[in-house]
Structure 1
Protein backbone atom coordinates (compact mmCIF):
# COMPACT_ATOMS: atom_id res chain seq x y z
CA UNK A 1 0.00 0.00 0.00
CA UNK A 2 1.31 3.43 -0.91
CA UNK A 3 1.64 5.93 1.88
CA UNK A 4 0.00 9.35 1.69
CA UNK A 5 2.42 12.24 2.06
CA UNK A 6 1.36 14.85 4.64
CA UNK A 7 3.02 18.22 5.16
CA UNK A 8 2.32 20.11 8.39
CA UNK A 9 2.97 23.83 8.05
CA UNK A 10 3.29 26.57 10.67
CA UNK A 11 5.10 29.85 10.98
CA UNK A 12 8.50 28.74 12.32
CA UNK A 13 8.46 24.92 12.42
CA UNK A 14 9.54 25.02 16.05
CA UNK A 15 6.58 23.52 17.93
CA UNK A 16 3.12 22.74 16.51
CA UNK A 17 4.09 21.35 13.11
CA UNK A 18 6.95 19.40 14.69
CA UNK A 19 4.57 17.83 17.21
CA UNK A 20 2.06 16.97 14.49
CA UNK A 21 4.76 15.36 12.35
CA UNK A 22 6.00 13.28 15.30
CA UNK A 23 2.50 12.14 16.24
CA UNK A 24 1.64 11.20 12.66
CA UNK A 25 4.83 9.14 12.52
CA UNK A 26 3.76 7.40 15.73
CA UNK A 27 0.08 6.76 14.93
CA UNK A 28 -0.06 6.67 11.14
CA UNK A 29 3.27 5.30 10.00
CA UNK A 30 1.63 2.46 8.08
CA UNK A 31 -0.60 4.87 6.08
CA UNK A 32 1.28 8.17 6.01
CA UNK A 33 4.67 9.71 5.45
CA UNK A 34 4.89 12.81 7.65
CA UNK A 35 6.77 16.04 6.95
CA UNK A 36 6.79 19.49 8.56
CA UNK A 37 7.98 22.94 7.61
CA UNK A 38 7.67 26.58 8.54
CA UNK A 39 7.23 29.75 6.57
CA UNK A 40 10.61 30.50 8.11
CA UNK A 41 12.83 27.85 9.69
CA UNK A 42 14.03 28.26 13.26
CA UNK A 43 15.26 25.91 15.96
CA UNK A 44 12.92 23.38 17.52
CA UNK A 45 11.82 24.94 20.81
CA UNK A 46 13.44 23.16 23.79
CA UNK A 47 10.06 22.79 25.51
CA UNK A 48 8.70 21.05 22.39
CA UNK A 49 11.42 18.46 22.80
CA UNK A 50 10.72 18.14 26.53
CA UNK A 51 6.93 17.65 26.28
CA UNK A 52 7.27 15.17 23.44
CA UNK A 53 9.79 13.16 25.47
CA UNK A 54 7.14 13.01 28.21
CA UNK A 55 5.05 11.06 25.67
CA UNK A 56 7.98 8.79 24.86
CA UNK A 57 8.69 10.45 21.51
CA UNK A 58 12.24 11.46 20.67
CA UNK A 59 12.65 14.51 18.46
CA UNK A 60 16.32 13.75 17.78
CA UNK A 61 15.66 12.87 14.12
CA UNK A 62 13.62 16.03 13.44
CA UNK A 63 14.91 19.48 12.57
CA UNK A 64 13.35 22.77 11.53
CA UNK A 65 12.85 23.22 7.79
CA UNK A 66 11.70 26.05 5.57
CA UNK A 67 8.73 25.55 3.27
CA UNK A 68 10.97 26.36 0.31
CA UNK A 69 12.51 22.89 0.27
CA UNK A 70 9.12 21.32 -0.50
CA UNK A 71 7.85 23.65 -3.23
CA UNK A 72 8.46 21.08 -5.98
CA UNK A 73 7.05 18.11 -4.04
CA UNK A 74 3.55 16.64 -4.16
CA UNK A 75 1.53 15.98 -1.00
CA UNK A 76 -1.76 14.26 -0.36
CA UNK A 77 -2.39 16.74 2.44
CA UNK A 78 -1.15 20.16 3.43
CA UNK A 79 -2.26 20.84 7.00
CA UNK A 80 -1.67 24.33 8.34
CA UNK A 81 -1.55 24.41 12.13
CA UNK A 82 -1.48 28.16 12.72
CA UNK A 83 -3.36 31.18 11.45
CA UNK A 84 -0.22 32.88 10.11
CA UNK A 85 0.63 29.93 7.85
CA UNK A 86 -2.99 29.68 6.74
CA UNK A 87 -3.07 33.36 5.85
CA UNK A 88 0.38 33.72 4.31
CA UNK A 89 0.30 30.53 2.27
CA UNK A 90 -3.04 30.78 0.45
CA UNK A 91 -1.87 28.52 -2.38
CA UNK A 92 0.56 25.63 -2.43
CA UNK A 93 1.20 23.73 -5.67
CA UNK A 94 1.13 19.96 -5.65
CA UNK A 95 -1.42 19.41 -2.88
CA UNK A 96 -4.48 17.21 -3.19
CA UNK A 97 -6.31 18.25 0.01
CA UNK A 98 -5.68 21.21 2.30
CA UNK A 99 -6.84 21.29 5.92
CA UNK A 100 -6.62 23.98 8.61
CA UNK A 101 -6.06 22.93 12.21
CA UNK A 102 -5.57 26.13 14.23
CA UNK A 103 -3.66 25.66 17.48
CA UNK A 104 -2.39 28.31 19.88
CA UNK A 105 1.34 28.97 19.66
CA UNK A 106 2.91 27.48 22.79
CA UNK A 107 6.18 29.31 22.07
CA UNK A 108 4.32 32.56 22.79
CA UNK A 109 3.54 31.43 26.36
CA UNK A 110 4.76 33.71 29.13
CA UNK A 111 5.52 33.08 32.78
CA UNK A 112 7.68 30.59 34.63
CA UNK A 113 9.05 27.51 32.90
CA UNK A 114 6.35 25.41 34.60
CA UNK A 115 3.62 27.76 33.33
CA UNK A 116 5.07 27.59 29.83
CA UNK A 117 5.29 23.80 30.07
CA UNK A 118 1.59 23.64 30.90
CA UNK A 119 0.80 25.54 27.69
CA UNK A 120 3.08 23.26 25.66
CA UNK A 121 1.42 20.18 27.19
CA UNK A 122 -2.06 21.49 26.46
CA UNK A 123 -1.24 22.18 22.80
CA UNK A 124 0.64 18.87 22.52
CA UNK A 125 -2.39 16.96 23.78
CA UNK A 126 -4.73 18.82 21.41
CA UNK A 127 -2.47 17.99 18.47
CA UNK A 128 -2.18 14.36 19.50
CA UNK A 129 -5.96 14.02 19.68
CA UNK A 130 -6.40 15.69 16.27
CA UNK A 131 -3.78 13.46 14.64
CA UNK A 132 -5.35 10.29 16.08
CA UNK A 133 -8.75 11.38 14.77
CA UNK A 134 -7.22 12.12 11.36
CA UNK A 135 -5.56 8.69 11.17
CA UNK A 136 -8.73 6.90 12.26
CA UNK A 137 -10.93 8.73 9.75
CA UNK A 138 -8.82 8.81 6.61
CA UNK A 139 -11.23 6.58 4.71
CA UNK A 140 -13.23 9.71 3.86
CA UNK A 141 -10.20 10.93 1.91
CA UNK A 142 -10.08 7.98 -0.47
CA UNK A 143 -10.14 10.35 -3.46
CA UNK A 144 -6.43 11.14 -3.15
CA UNK A 145 -4.80 10.28 -6.43
CA UNK A 146 -1.91 7.82 -6.63
CA UNK A 147 0.49 10.53 -7.75
CA UNK A 148 0.09 12.13 -4.28
CA UNK A 149 1.32 8.97 -2.58
CA UNK A 150 4.81 7.61 -2.02
Structure 2
Protein backbone atom coordinates (compact mmCIF):
# COMPACT_ATOMS: atom_id res chain seq x y z
CA UNK A 1 0.00 0.00 0.00
CA UNK A 2 1.43 3.38 -1.02
CA UNK A 3 1.80 5.88 1.80
CA UNK A 4 0.05 9.22 1.39
CA UNK A 5 2.66 11.93 0.95
CA UNK A 6 2.48 14.71 3.52
CA UNK A 7 2.11 18.11 1.87
CA UNK A 8 4.42 20.75 3.32
CA UNK A 9 3.92 24.47 2.81
CA UNK A 10 5.32 25.43 -0.64
CA UNK A 11 7.82 27.91 0.83
CA UNK A 12 9.32 25.12 2.96
CA UNK A 13 9.51 22.80 -0.08
CA UNK A 14 11.46 25.51 -1.93
CA UNK A 15 13.98 25.70 0.91
CA UNK A 16 14.30 21.90 1.03
CA UNK A 17 15.11 21.86 -2.70
CA UNK A 18 18.18 24.02 -1.99
CA UNK A 19 19.74 21.56 0.49
CA UNK A 20 23.06 20.17 -0.74
CA UNK A 21 24.18 17.04 1.11
CA UNK A 22 27.54 17.25 -0.69
CA UNK A 23 28.27 20.33 1.44
CA UNK A 24 28.40 18.10 4.56
CA UNK A 25 31.98 16.99 5.23
CA UNK A 26 32.95 13.34 5.63
CA UNK A 27 33.93 14.09 9.25
CA UNK A 28 30.52 15.60 9.96
CA UNK A 29 28.75 12.60 8.40
CA UNK A 30 30.58 10.39 10.92
CA UNK A 31 29.14 12.59 13.71
CA UNK A 32 25.64 12.18 12.23
CA UNK A 33 25.88 8.39 11.73
CA UNK A 34 24.82 7.33 15.28
CA UNK A 35 21.54 9.24 14.82
CA UNK A 36 20.97 7.53 11.46
CA UNK A 37 21.61 4.16 13.14
CA UNK A 38 19.22 4.94 16.02
CA UNK A 39 16.37 5.95 13.70
CA UNK A 40 16.98 3.08 11.29
CA UNK A 41 16.93 0.54 14.11
CA UNK A 42 13.59 1.88 15.34
CA UNK A 43 12.11 1.88 11.82
CA UNK A 44 13.33 -1.67 11.17
CA UNK A 45 11.76 -2.87 14.42
CA UNK A 46 8.57 -0.86 13.81
CA UNK A 47 9.03 1.10 17.03
CA UNK A 48 8.21 4.72 17.83
CA UNK A 49 11.10 7.15 17.34
CA UNK A 50 11.48 9.76 20.07
CA UNK A 51 14.15 12.43 19.69
CA UNK A 52 14.88 14.95 22.45
CA UNK A 53 17.04 17.78 21.09
CA UNK A 54 18.90 19.36 24.00
CA UNK A 55 20.77 22.66 24.40
CA UNK A 56 21.71 24.70 27.48
CA UNK A 57 18.80 27.17 27.49
CA UNK A 58 16.36 25.48 25.08
CA UNK A 59 16.12 28.81 23.26
CA UNK A 60 17.84 28.54 19.87
CA UNK A 61 19.65 25.49 18.44
CA UNK A 62 17.52 22.86 20.16
CA UNK A 63 14.29 24.41 18.83
CA UNK A 64 15.67 24.77 15.31
CA UNK A 65 16.75 21.12 15.47
CA UNK A 66 13.39 19.94 16.83
CA UNK A 67 11.39 21.76 14.15
CA UNK A 68 13.56 20.66 11.24
CA UNK A 69 13.70 17.05 12.49
CA UNK A 70 9.90 16.80 12.70
CA UNK A 71 9.66 18.38 9.24
CA UNK A 72 12.26 16.00 7.80
CA UNK A 73 10.33 12.99 9.13
CA UNK A 74 7.20 14.32 7.42
CA UNK A 75 9.05 15.06 4.17
CA UNK A 76 10.52 11.54 3.97
CA UNK A 77 7.26 9.95 5.17
CA UNK A 78 8.88 8.26 8.16
CA UNK A 79 6.07 7.46 10.54
CA UNK A 80 5.90 7.53 14.34
CA UNK A 81 8.60 10.18 14.78
CA UNK A 82 8.09 12.44 17.79
CA UNK A 83 10.55 15.31 18.26
CA UNK A 84 10.99 17.25 21.49
CA UNK A 85 13.45 19.79 22.84
CA UNK A 86 14.78 20.80 26.23
CA UNK A 87 17.60 22.51 28.08
CA UNK A 88 19.68 22.13 31.18
CA UNK A 89 17.62 25.15 32.27
CA UNK A 90 14.43 26.79 30.96
CA UNK A 91 14.47 30.34 29.56
CA UNK A 92 12.35 31.25 26.51
CA UNK A 93 12.32 30.50 22.81
CA UNK A 94 14.34 33.40 21.37
CA UNK A 95 12.03 35.49 19.12
CA UNK A 96 14.59 35.65 16.29
CA UNK A 97 14.37 31.84 16.04
CA UNK A 98 10.63 32.08 15.41
CA UNK A 99 11.21 34.84 12.85
CA UNK A 100 13.91 32.78 11.11
CA UNK A 101 11.58 29.78 10.82
CA UNK A 102 8.79 32.03 9.49
CA UNK A 103 11.16 33.22 6.77
CA UNK A 104 11.60 29.57 5.75
CA UNK A 105 7.83 29.14 5.36
CA UNK A 106 6.66 27.86 8.75
CA UNK A 107 3.37 29.27 10.08
CA UNK A 108 3.85 30.35 13.70
CA UNK A 109 1.43 31.62 16.35
CA UNK A 110 1.85 32.50 20.02
CA UNK A 111 -0.89 30.68 21.94
CA UNK A 112 0.27 31.69 25.43
CA UNK A 113 2.17 34.91 26.15
CA UNK A 114 4.42 35.74 29.12
CA UNK A 115 8.08 35.37 29.97
CA UNK A 116 8.20 31.95 28.30
CA UNK A 117 5.67 32.11 25.44
CA UNK A 118 4.18 28.96 23.92
CA UNK A 119 4.27 28.80 20.12
CA UNK A 120 2.53 26.57 17.58
CA UNK A 121 4.74 25.90 14.58
CA UNK A 122 3.12 24.38 11.49
CA UNK A 123 4.93 22.90 8.46
CA UNK A 124 1.81 21.83 6.56
CA UNK A 125 -1.86 22.83 6.44
CA UNK A 126 -3.20 19.49 7.68
CA UNK A 127 -0.34 18.52 9.99
CA UNK A 128 -0.34 18.69 13.76
CA UNK A 129 1.64 21.75 14.90
CA UNK A 130 4.90 21.48 16.81
CA UNK A 131 4.58 23.04 20.26
CA UNK A 132 7.56 25.29 20.99
CA UNK A 133 8.47 26.66 24.41
CA UNK A 134 11.50 26.55 26.67
CA UNK A 135 11.71 23.73 29.22
CA UNK A 136 14.28 21.49 30.87
CA UNK A 137 15.07 18.28 29.02
CA UNK A 138 13.42 16.19 31.77
CA UNK A 139 10.21 18.28 31.85
CA UNK A 140 6.97 16.30 32.08
CA UNK A 141 6.13 17.51 28.55
CA UNK A 142 9.05 15.44 27.21
CA UNK A 143 9.44 11.65 27.05
CA UNK A 144 10.80 10.05 30.21
CA UNK A 145 12.19 6.88 28.59
CA UNK A 146 12.92 5.20 25.23
CA UNK A 147 14.30 8.30 23.50
CA UNK A 148 17.56 9.48 21.96
CA UNK A 149 19.09 12.52 23.69
CA UNK A 150 20.74 14.65 21.02
CA UNK A 151 23.08 17.29 22.46
CA UNK A 152 23.09 20.29 20.10
CA UNK A 153 25.59 22.42 22.04
CA UNK A 154 28.94 21.63 23.63
CA UNK A 155 27.93 23.12 27.00
CA UNK A 156 24.96 20.74 27.28
CA UNK A 157 27.14 17.88 26.05
CA UNK A 158 29.68 18.58 28.79
CA UNK A 159 27.07 19.38 31.43
CA UNK A 160 24.92 16.29 30.87
CA UNK A 161 27.17 13.26 31.30
CA UNK A 162 24.09 11.13 32.04
CA UNK A 163 20.50 11.69 30.94
CA UNK A 164 17.93 9.62 32.80
CA UNK A 165 15.71 7.54 30.52
CA UNK A 166 17.73 8.07 27.34
CA UNK A 167 18.38 4.93 25.30
CA UNK A 168 21.19 6.71 23.51
CA UNK A 169 23.13 9.95 23.94
CA UNK A 170 24.28 11.53 20.67
CA UNK A 171 26.35 14.74 20.59
CA UNK A 172 25.68 16.69 17.35
CA UNK A 173 26.80 20.18 18.26
CA UNK A 174 26.28 23.42 16.34
CA UNK A 175 27.81 26.89 16.73
CA UNK A 176 25.60 29.30 18.68
CA UNK A 177 24.05 32.10 16.56
CA UNK A 178 23.63 34.02 19.84
CA UNK A 179 27.17 35.33 19.24
CA UNK A 180 25.66 37.64 16.60
CA UNK A 181 22.77 39.00 18.68
CA UNK A 182 22.33 42.77 18.36
CA UNK A 183 24.72 42.98 15.40
CA UNK A 184 24.08 43.80 11.75
CA UNK A 185 24.69 40.12 10.93
CA UNK A 186 22.07 38.71 13.32
CA UNK A 187 19.35 37.79 10.79
CA UNK A 188 21.87 36.39 8.30
CA UNK A 189 23.67 34.25 10.90
CA UNK A 190 20.45 32.82 12.37
CA UNK A 191 19.30 31.87 8.88
CA UNK A 192 22.71 30.36 8.13
CA UNK A 193 22.62 28.24 11.28
CA UNK A 194 19.01 27.19 10.69
CA UNK A 195 19.85 26.02 7.16
CA UNK A 196 22.96 24.15 8.33
CA UNK A 197 20.89 22.32 10.96
CA UNK A 198 18.15 21.64 8.41
CA UNK A 199 20.56 20.30 5.78
CA UNK A 200 22.27 17.94 8.21
CA UNK A 201 19.02 16.66 9.70
CA UNK A 202 17.49 16.14 6.26
CA UNK A 203 20.62 14.21 5.30
CA UNK A 204 20.08 11.97 8.35
CA UNK A 205 16.47 11.21 7.41
CA UNK A 206 17.37 10.75 3.73
CA UNK A 207 19.51 7.75 4.77
CA UNK A 208 16.63 5.89 6.41
CA UNK A 209 15.27 2.89 4.51
CA UNK A 210 11.57 2.35 5.18
CA UNK A 211 10.38 -1.19 5.79
- Tell me which interval the TM-score lies in, with the shorter structure as reference length: 0.7 to 0.9
CA distance in 2, matches of 1:39, 1:7: 12
Within 5 Å, which residues of 2 pair with 1:35-46? 35-46=84-95
Shift of 1:27: 1.4
Larger of the two Rg values belongs to structure: 2
Please state whether the residue corresponding to 2:190 is helix, strand or coil: helix
Offset, 1:138: 4.1
3-state SS, counterpart of residue 138 of structure 2: helix
Q: TM-score, normalised by structure 2?
A: 0.60
Q: Is the 8 A contact 1:49 1:58 kept in 2?
A: no
Native 8 Å contact 2:138 2:144 kept in 1: no
* 1:86 counterpart residue number: 157
Q: Tell me, which stretches of 5 or more residues in structure 2 are unaligned?
A: 1-45, 109-118, 121-131
Is the 1:16–1:103 Cα contact (8 Å) retained in structure 2? yes
Unaligned runs of 5+ in 1: 140-150
3-state SS of 1:69 partner: coil
Distance 1:69 1:136, change over 3 A: same
Alpha-carbon RMSD across the aligned residues, in angstroms, is: 2.1
- Give the TM-score of the pair, scaled to structure 1: 0.82
1:57 counterpart = 2:106: yes
Q: For the Cα contact (< 8 Å) 2:153–2:174, is it kept in 1?
A: yes
Q: SS at the partner of 1:35?
A: strand
Over 3 Å counting, the alpha-carbon distance change for 1:74 and 1:58 in structure 2 is farther
